[in-house]
């Protein structure tokens, strides 16, 4: 039996890029609720940088904080994704030539 109830690593870029960015999530099994001092970690890595966020479950207050922390992170990332999608749409939108403002001067005027 695995000591982890969840353990997943996913790479953020296609293998063809050669970039090693990834997300690695680990949730150690509580063994049916008996063990609350486990390892609960989210790692986000990009090239040579790595950020690890711990989600401690050892106390009732810590468990609430950990759920709030991941919920907030998901909310912020979702808003960030929406903002990126909006900017991508604006960048990729076909550019129309600018319309002239007001009356243009005519050579015969």
23 close to 43: Cβ distance less than 8 angstroms: yes
pLDDT confidence of residue 94: 83
Asked whether residue 107 carries a pLDDT value surpassing 60, the answer given is no
Q: Enumerate the domain spans of the chain.
A: 4-92
pLDDT confidence of residue 29: 96
* Backbone phi, psi, residue 64, to 5°: -65, -45
**If pLDDT is split at 50, 70 and 90, which confidence band does 97 have?**
confident
pLDDT tens digits, residue range 82-96?
999 999 999 999 877
Asked whether residue 108 carries a pLDDT value surpassing 70, the answer given is no
pLDDT tens digits, residue range 17-75?
988 899 999 999 999 999 999 999 999 999 889 999 999 999 999 999 999 999 999 99
Joined tokens for residue 17: 């890029």
pLDDT confidence of residue 106: 59
| 3-state SS, one letter per residue, for 5-57 | EEEEEEECCCHHHCCCCEEEEEEECCCCCCCCCCCEEEEEEECCEEEEEECCC
Whose structure tokens read 């063990």? 35
Average pLDDT estimate for 76-84: 98
pLDDT confidence of residue 88: 97
Whose structure tokens read 């609350």? 36
* Backbone phi, psi, residue 9, to 5°: -125, 130
20 close to 11: Cβ distance less than 8 angstroms: yes
């Amino acid at each position: 039996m695995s000591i982890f109830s969840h353990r997943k690593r996913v790479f953020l870029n296609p293998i063809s890029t050669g970039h090693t960015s990834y997300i690695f999530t680990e949730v150690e099994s509580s063994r049916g609720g008996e063990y609350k001092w486990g390892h609960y970690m989210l790692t986000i890595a990009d090239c040579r940088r790595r950020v690890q966020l711990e989600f401690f479950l050892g106390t009732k207050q810590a468990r609430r904080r950990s759920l709030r922390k991941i919920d907030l992170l998901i909310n912020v990332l979702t808003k960030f994704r929406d903002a990126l999608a909006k900017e991508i749409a604006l960048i990729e939108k076909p550019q129309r030539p600018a319309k002239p403002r007001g009356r243009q001067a005519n050579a015969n005027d």
